[in-house]
Structure 1
């Protein structure tokens, strides 16, 4: 008989829905012609850290994260990618003893040029640490692991 490893308890449906809605609203701030990187950056704490396997050093602080995102959006726009969208799924939420949440989810970046077909631009495994401040969730730490990036 095979025994499965113990699983952490599930979070309540209300909390899970809050986190799904947080991510939906956060990523919608980067999509399409109405992208708002300033509002997006406000979903991070002032001292947040955003790192990845495709950058040499992580961005530390909201201002650095905003600058990187503005640069990324300018790069995407310069490529003439048309409509740019994100799709997040498979969100796992793990509450921590200190009240923070650790999340793990997949992100898919897609672009559709005018008159063209949808193209997948990348797939990323995302790991976040979320904190509750002034009644809302914020990202304190994010680490992205893009598929296909050499180790």
Structure 2
């Protein structure tokens, strides 16, 4: 009976730890996408590691390091202003896989909405986002991101 109670207590503790970790990952993405949508470029780049790599399906190669990420987001914000529209991101269906090294491997759906000035929002892209998150200085940061789009082979 005692062994069974210990096993149950351990499973409960593991379940609680995972639930807390999962909530942290959800909060990380909510925060990161809100920063991206407001074009707070430097803060958004700060949610990545110094040597982060992001692979986007519509770019010829990976974007490397925070400076490259910030430059990419600034250019996107300028394009949106010229077009008179804004983009918003929604992340859901998050799967979190803790790794033995303390990192998290995540996979989620990401929807990108476009809203023209004075118009109605519509889904622009349906994506899958696969990340490696690492904790640095007490904060989760993206070390690697790979984005694929449903409309591209």
- TM-score w.r.t. the length of structure 2 is 0.84
Matches within 5 A, 1:107-122: 107-122=110-125
Distance 1:77 1:147 in 2: 26
Higher Cα radius of gyration: 2
Runs of 4+ more than 6 Å apart: none
Q: 2:107 aligns with which of 104, 107, 113?
A: 104
Q: Distance in 2 between matches of 1:118 and 1:70?
A: 22
- How big is the shift at 1:111? 2.2
Answer yes or no: is the 8 Å Cα contact 1:95–1:101 preserved in 2: yes
Shift of 1:146: 1.5
CA contact under 8 A between 2:39 and 2:74: conserved in structure 1? no
Unaligned residue ranges in structure 1 (runs of 5+)? 1-8
Provide the aligned C-alpha RMSD in A: 1.6
Which residue is 2:141 aligned to?
138
**Residue 6 (structure 1) aligns with:** none
Higher relative helix content = 2
Q: How many residues align?
A: 139
